[in-house]
């Protein structure tokens, strides 16, 4: 397509985009019997873009389309019949799998029970405690990172050690003014490794560290790091229920999903047998 044709097409394209009335499809390019129409082009023309750039965008898209279509047609001409049959089989199998998946998904959304009570979750946890052994050390902690020049750091340390709510509220107020980072992780369990990464030096023996430490401070030339450890669990011990609660929920829902799909398949199968729409010869 030369520049004059492209420019004509660009003018037509812009005018057609601004016209809400039905327009006869305009061909842009053709490879064999396959035609590319202007309404199949993506929205390449943007407000503020100059004519030269618009033409280049359209030309580039058409060239890419032509190369792909030419390659496809050459491949279809030269592949063996056996290979083409295998491609058709794979396409049909993929289509069948997609249709089945969408139907199963629709049925699950409409009919599968996804409500889980806290008692169900706790009962599953109690009955399967061997499945919830920790692979890593976890903690509940308060982490603070302060600039080294922060005023009255000793007061901040004292407040961070406290479990009194008034002290913690005061600490939070001070840290919002001065701290580079202040995080209690929403009082959730977190991996000890996650906290260790915040420190300027490595904690070599986490188990020993956790057994003997409730408050830890460290520093480098720029910052002071404080950790107040509220609770911990060591690797190879049973994970707390609240730490694995979401995992338990996923396990139960996945189990229900599997059972629901099996039940759906069996119901359709038995219905077909009953109505004699399925026969075994």
* Structural domain count of the chain: 3
Q: How far apart are the first and last CA of the chain?
A: 60
SS3 assignment, position 229 = strand
Q: How far is Cα 141 from Cα 227, in angstroms, rounded to an integer?
A: 7
pLDDT confidence tier of residue 208, bands split at 50, 70 and 90: very high
Residue 265 within any structural domain of the chain:
yes
Mean pLDDT over each residue of the chain, to the nearest integer: 88
pLDDT for 19 beyond 90: no
Residue 97 located in a structural domain: no
Does 85 reside within a domain? no
What's the gap between Cα 224 and its chain centre?
Answer: 35
Task: Identify the burial level of 238 via C-beta atoms within 10 angstroms of its C-beta, where 0-12 means exposed, 13-18 middle and 19 or more buried.
Answer: middle
Q: Are residues 142 and 114 in the same domain?
A: no
Return the beta strands (E) in the chain as ranges: 27-31, 34-37, 138-147, 181-183, 190-191, 215-219, 223-233
Q: Angle CA(100)–CA(104)–CA(110) in degrees, nearest 5?
A: 145
Top-confidence residue, 187 or 278 = 187
Confidence of residue 158 (pLDDT cuts 50, 70, 90): very high
- Same domain flag for 62 and 123: no
pLDDT at residue 8 in the model:
54
- Cα 22–chain centre separation: 41
Q: How many whole angstroms separate alpha carbon 238 and alpha carbon 132?
A: 6
Phi, then psi, of 224 in degrees rounded to 5: -115, 135
Q: Which domain holds residue 73?
A: 3-78
Residues 141 and 227 in one domain: yes
Instruction: Return the closest-CA partner of residue 180 out of 148, 146, 157.
Output: 146
The reply to whether 84 falls in a domain is no
- Do 60 and 107 lie in one domain? The reply is no
Asked, for residue 256, whether it belongs to a domain, the answer is: yes
Q: Which residue, 203, 185, 182, 184, is CA-closest to 193?
A: 203
**What pLDDT sits at residue 25?**
80
The per-residue b/e assignment along 1-30, b for 16 or more CB within 10 angstroms, e otherwise, is eeeeebeebbeebeeeeeeeeeeeeeebbe
Percent over 90 (pLDDT), the chain? 71
Nearest to 171 by CA among 186, 156, 161: 156
Looking at the structure, tell me whether residues 272 and 195 fall in a common domain: no
Assess if residue 89 is contained within a domain.
no
What the block records as the tokens of 238 is: 């049973």
In a shared domain, residues 143 and 225: yes
Q: Report yes or no on 95 lying in a domain.
A: no
Torsion angle, alpha carbons of 13, 15, 17, 18, to 10: 170
Using one digit for the tens of pLDDT, what is the confidence trace for 76-131?
A: 899 999 999 999 999 999 999 999 999 999 999 999 999 999 999 999 999 999 99
What is the model's pLDDT at position 28? 85
On whether residue 92 sits in a domain, the answer given is no
CA atoms within 13 A on the CB side of 250: 4
Instruction: Please write the tens of the pLDDT for every residue from 23-69.
Output: 578 888 899 889 988 888 777 655 556 667 777 888 888 899 999 99
Can you tell me the mean pLDDT for 175-189?
A: 93
Q: Model pTM? A: 0.72
pLDDT at residue 27, as a whole number: 87
Strands 138-147 and 181-183: antiparallel
User: 70 pLDDT band (50/70/90 cuts)?
Assistant: very high
DSSP string over 129-190: GGG-B-SS-EEEEEEEEEETT-TTHHHHHHHHH---HHHHHHHHHHHHHH-SEEE-GGG--E
Mark which of 233, 250, 273 sits at the end of a domain.
233
């Amino acid at each position: 397509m030369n520049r004059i044709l492209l420019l004509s097409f660009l003018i037509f394209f812009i005018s057609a985009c601004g016209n809400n009335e039905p327009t006869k499809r305009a061909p842009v390019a053709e490879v064999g019997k396959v035609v590319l129409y202007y309404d199949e082009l993506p929205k390449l023309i943007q407000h503020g873009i100059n004519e030269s750039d618009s033409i280049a965008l359209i030309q580039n898209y058409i060239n890419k389309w032509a190369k792909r279509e030419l390659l496809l047609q050459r491949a279809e001409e030269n592949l063996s019949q056996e290979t083409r049959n295998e491609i058709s089989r794979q396409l049909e199998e993929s289509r069948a799998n997609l249709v089945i998946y969408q139907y199963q998904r629709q049925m699950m959304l409409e009919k599968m029970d996804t409500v889980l009570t806290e008692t169900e979750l706790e009962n599953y946890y109690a009955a399967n405690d061997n499945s919830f052994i920790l692979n890593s050390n976890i903690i509940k902690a308060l982490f603070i990172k302060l600039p080294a020049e922060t005023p009255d750091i000793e007061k901040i340390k004292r407040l961070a050690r406290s479990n009194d709510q008034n002290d913690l509220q005061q600490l939070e107020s001070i840290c919002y003014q001065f701290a580079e980072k202040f995080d209690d992780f929403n009082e959730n369990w977190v991996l000890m490794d996650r906290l260790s990464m915040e420190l300027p030096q490595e904690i070599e023996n986490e188990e020993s560290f956790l057994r003997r430490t409730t408050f830890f401070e460290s520093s480098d030339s720029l910052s002071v790091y404080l950790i107040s450890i509220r609770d911990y669990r060591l690797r190879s011990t049973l994970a707390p229920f609240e730490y694995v609660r979401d995992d338990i929920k996923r396990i139960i829902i996945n189990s229900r999903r599997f059972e629901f799909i099996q039940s759906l398949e069996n119901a359709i199968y038995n219905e077909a047998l009953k109505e004699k729409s399925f026969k075994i010869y």
